[in-house]
Structure 1
Amino acid sequence: MNYDIIDTIVRTAIDATRNAYVEHGSIAAGACLLASDGTLYSGCTIDSVVPEYKLPAEVVVMAKAVSEGKREFDAISVIADIDGTYMPDELSHKFLLEFNVQEIILADMKGNTKVMKLEELIPYKARRK
């Protein structure tokens, strides 16, 4: 993946962070998902007073794209308003595996990036037949 695409995806995720709904103590995060057809989707954290209903940005953006008919994705960028790099949680791992998102771009709010393959992020994933 070339630098311009990575830069666009990261900047879109940073912009999405500004829309995060974090009234109940969650971390403000944003995500940008690149569909295989080149369409970009953005999403943000949606917090809830009920812990089971806190939605990470990366889950929100995948649900948004799937709800619009997309099923194949090339990359996702995830960014949070924290010091350092935000790492997706277990629920997010399940979505990344379900939709086989191969490139994970982890970044900070300054635009520093680390590109990982899905196998690096989740090395011992369950295999499907």
Structure 2
Amino acid sequence: MSKTTSEYFEIDVDLDIKSIIEKHCKKSVDKLKIKSPKASGNYASNWAFIIDGNEENCKGAVYNQEPIGHFLEYGHIVGNSWAPAQPHLEPVYEDEKTEFINDMKKINIKVTSKKGGRTNA
């Protein structure tokens, strides 16, 4: 005796992950250029980002070519005194993290029920 499957499902996922990652990396760079300390050097203007991968499987990184962010973010010793913290990394990260998560939740997943089928013996 054979059994006929009368319904199956198609799943269509709109994976525009790469553009979401690129959007938030760019926004992070723009915010960091504004919020970064500008006392000396090119730190504030040296923010950039890189995207690696394809539409469905990618990652992004925001970086600065001058490796002093942690000193500025948390404070550091200068001679015999303490340079106070100038938080700029974590506030930008927290802002963009929330927006990024909200954008990822909006990814379109469409499940369609189809009639017809195949025969299982």
Fold equivalence (TM over 0.5): no
In our comparison, the structure showing a higher alpha carbon Rg is 2
- Structure 1 length normalisation: TM-score? 0.27
Hey, which of these two has a bigger chunk of helix by percent?
2
Q: Relative contact order: is structure 1 or structure 2 higher (C-alpha 8 Å, sep ≥ 6)?
A: 2
TM-score with structure 2 length normalisation?
0.28
